[in-house]
């Protein structure tokens, strides 16, 4: 299964968007893009779940055909 991004999104939202120290600069992805990725992965995992899927079967009663 996929790893939910909820905790990472919360951690990124609480921290700074970009940071710079010495000659190293770090910038995170946009929060809107992170939320969209979390929704996409959640929907993908929900579709792949066989428990929630429907199964259609044709029922043929015994008797004269």
Residues in the chain: 65
- Cα angle 8, 4, 27; round to 5: 30
3-class state of residue 22 by DSSP: coil
3-class state of residue 12 by DSSP: helix
Task: Give the predicted TM-score (pTM) of the model.
Answer: 0.49
The residues, ordered by sequence, that sit 6+ positions from 29 with a Cβ below 8 Å of its Cβ are 12
Summarize pLDDT for 8-65 with one digit per residue, the tens. 777 777 777 788 888 888 887 787 887 887 888 778 777 776 665 677 888 888 876 6
């Amino acid at each position: 299964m996929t790893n939910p991004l909820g905790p990472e999104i919360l951690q990124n939202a609480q921290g700074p968007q970009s940071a710079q120290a010495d000659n190293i600069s770090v910038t995170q992805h946009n929060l809107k893009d992170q939320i969209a990725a979390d929704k996409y992965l959640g929907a993908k995992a929900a579709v792949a779940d066989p428990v929630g899927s429907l199964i259609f079967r044709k029922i043929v009663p015994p008797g004269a055909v």
